Amino acid sequence: MVSNRISLATLYFATLIMRAAGFASIAVVTSGSYLGVGPSSDLMRGVIVASYPLAEIITVMVFGAVCDNIGRKPVLILGHFFTALAAFAFIFAQNTLALLMGFSALFGVGAAAKVSSTLTMISDMSTLEKRAQYMGIFDITTLGGLAGGYVAGAMMINLLHFTAFMSFVLAGSLVMVSVVLVIFLVVETKGEKVTSIGVRGLFRRVFSNKDILRLLPVYTPIICLYGLVIAFAESIAESGNIFTSTQSLITLGVVGLCLIAGLYLLGKLSDRLLRRKPFIIVGLFCFGVLAAVLTLNKDAIDALWPILPLVGLISFGAGAFPPAVLAYLSDISKHETRGTTFGVYSMILGTGLIIGPLSGSLVIPAYGTVGFIALVTLYVVLGALFSLRLPEPVKSEK
């Protein structure tokens, strides 16, 4: 019998592998050496990347409901399988836009199944006193896989001179390893006593939950902020300015390490104090300040070197809100509708990852850095104000 500890560890490791392989494939297929350089290539690149979150938005709530009706594990296996299939399928795309869009969308479908099932299982296997730290570890493995995979994909195609074929085979093979892991080492957490009430019944229960409705206005600006900052970070990485000095690389390394430490340690503190709201608000403000500081110094990151300890402290604080936000959603959800609840959350996540960058593309060209900072401030203030209305969770399992 597989223990919960082994099951959780496998979930985290499989998440890291899947995300890394998936984003390595995206990095390869959107690279200049694969698509070429020019206005038409830029358009293709944008359409291909957009297909991913769009497919995730369309399918994630359905997968969340399936988690509640049928089980978490079948959806989890399906998510990993779809991701492996998409990585292998890119081999046959032959630079054809329709195929590239379709296979990128398949990645989105895999992500939808993966996120809804994994978050639900982590929630099922955790108690109120451990939930935020478990969610923090999930965030770490997700972000680590995303960033590590994207960098690995770029290195394979540009520095190591892998062919696209070799890159896709390697990525697909790694995800197949994760498929095997989740089949044999992850336990089902749905529970035999949960009665299926149908998809419509599940959604009615979720949207009749006043706590969840109160949380939706909090999530929307937070995720838009996420999307805006992620899009900005990608533009910095593509410009190559961060590689101009050792101090720049060390600075960004400190930001990453302190953020990771904050995700886990502040998540653990949230559990210890049984408080979510202060961590959401403080973390939001730190994340906004961090985004503004990096924006103002985007052309010379090494200018932050003299205040590196302060930058590290702000980065640490920015790690406070992701685990607290996810833990809070788990705190207020019921076991029989937990998959559907996380499906709704993931739909908001995907929508925000589109709205955030889109708002940036409309404001930043006209107002530059000032426009970016104004947008960040708007999203932070809205998220914090709506967070003030949230009641803290009580010490009881639902």
Q: Which CATH class is domain 202-398?
A: mainly alpha
> For the chain, what is the radius of gyration of the CA atoms?
20
> Which residues make Cβ contacts (< 8 Å) with residue 347, sequence separation at least 6?
57, 60, 61
Tell me which amino acid residue 208 is: S
Of 13-22, 111-120, 131-140, 199-208, minimum mean pLDDT range = 199-208
| Average pLDDT score over residue span 128-142 | 92
Task: Kindly tell me if the per-residue pLDDT of 397 is higher than 50.
Answer: no
> Which residues make Cβ contacts (< 8 Å) with residue 39, sequence separation at least 6?
none
For residue 398, the model assigns a pLDDT of 43
Pick the more confident residue, 174 or 303.
Answer: 174
Q: How much is the pTM?
A: 0.87
The answer to whether the Cα torsion of 273, 279, 280, 282 is positive or negative is positive
Task: Kindly tell me if the per-residue pLDDT of 140 is higher than 90.
Answer: yes
131: its two tokens: 């939930």
Domain 1-184: CATH superfamily is: MFS general substrate transporter like domains (1.20.1250.20)
For residue 297, the model assigns a pLDDT of 80
Distance CA 335, CA 135 (A): 17
pLDDT confidence band for 77 (50 / 70 / 90): very high
Cβ(59)–Cβ(108) under 8 Å? yes
Task: Kindly tell me if the per-residue pLDDT of 31 is higher than 90.
Answer: no
pLDDT digits (tens, 9 = 90+) for 212-262: 777 778 877 877 777 777 666 655 555 555 556 788 788 888 998 999 999
For the chain, which residues make up each domain, given as ranges? Answer: 1-184, 202-398
For residue 243, the model assigns a pLDDT of 55
Pick the more confident residue, 356 or 377.
Answer: 377
Pick the more confident residue, 383 or 38.
Answer: 383
Fold agreement between 1-184 and 202-398: yes
The SS3 assignment for 60 reads helix
- What are the distances in angstroms from CA 138 to CA 197, 203, 380? 29, 25, 23
Mean pLDDT rounded to a whole number for the chain: 85
Task: Kindly tell me if the per-residue pLDDT of 165 is higher than 70.
Answer: yes
Tell me which amino acid residue 118 is: T
